[in-house]
Amino acid sequence: MANPFRLPMVPRALRNLVSRPATRRYPSEIRPRFDGARGTIEFDVETCNYCMLCMRRCPAAAITVVREERMWSIEQLTCIACNVCVEVCAKKSLTMSRDSKHVHVRSEVGPQGQRPGHEEWHGADPALTAPVKPAAEAPTSAS
């Protein structure tokens, strides 16, 4: 047992007492995120080609893609922000935002008990945005 009558912490405590606290007063004082900080996955529905690579590589199985329906969805509560999906996305449709994910409350739980944090996109026009094969990656598809 350490001798409790030795007081090595006293000078430190006294120094602290007279100096400014180290506390960052969070809600009123928000520290900007570092570069490369991983927070929320953002999805650009315009550029996605529903290749499903992100879904296949996602370690948390947070991403669901249904190519036939042009649907792309993510469970933000399951996502671990590992950045793999961003790295594999050929269309650069996925980006990693520095901002933290949103906090959710129970009232957002769906009627069937779906968790909150479910985000879902549907491609506007499947005919325009859906190349059938990954090989057909020609940039001229706009015609």
Partner 1 sequence: MNVNPVVYGVLFVFLAPVFGGLLAGMDRIISARMQSRVGPPLLQPFYDLGKLLQKNARQVNPIAEPLLLGHVGFMAATGAMLLGGTDLVFTAFVLALAALFLVLAAGSVNSPYSHAGAERELIVLLASEPFFILMLAAICKVSGASTFGGVLASPVWVAWQLPGMLLAFSFVATIKLRKSPFDISTSHHAHQELVSGLTSDMSGRLLAYVEMAHWYESAILAAFVVLFFNWAWPLGLGVFAVAYLLEILVDNSTSRAKWQLVLRSSWAVTLLLSGGNVLALFLLK
Partner 2 sequence: MSFFSKSPWILHYDASSCNGCDIEVLACLTPLYDVERFGVVNTGNPKHADILLITGSVNERNIEIIQNLYRQMPDPKVVVAVGACACSGGIFARAYNIQGGVDKVLPVDVYVPGCAARPESIIDGVVQGISALEEKRKISA
Q: HSE-up of 81 (CA within 13 Å, CB side)?
A: 15
Residue found by looking up tokens 């950045």 in the block: 83
Task: Name the residue among 18, 70, 76 with its Cα closest to residue 45.
Answer: 70
Q: Minimal distance in Å, beta carbon 100 to partner 1?
A: 22
Q: Is 74 in the site for partner 2 (CB under 8 A)?
A: no
Indicate which single residue of 7, 30, 132, 142 sits in contact with partner 2 (rule: CB under 8 A).
Answer: 30
Q: Is 102 in the site for partner 2 (CB under 8 A)?
A: yes
Q: Minimal distance in Å, beta carbon 52 to partner 2?
A: 19
For 130, other C-beta atoms within 10 Å of its C-beta total 15
Tokens of 103: 């906090």
Q: Is 25 in the site for partner 1 (CB under 8 A)?
A: yes
Q: Which does 76 bind (CB under 5 to 8 A by kind): partner 1, partner 2, none?
A: partner 2
Q: Is 27 in the site for partner 1 (CB under 8 A)?
A: no
Contact, 130 vs 66, CB < 8 A? no
Q: Is 97 in the site for partner 2 (CB under 8 A)?
A: no
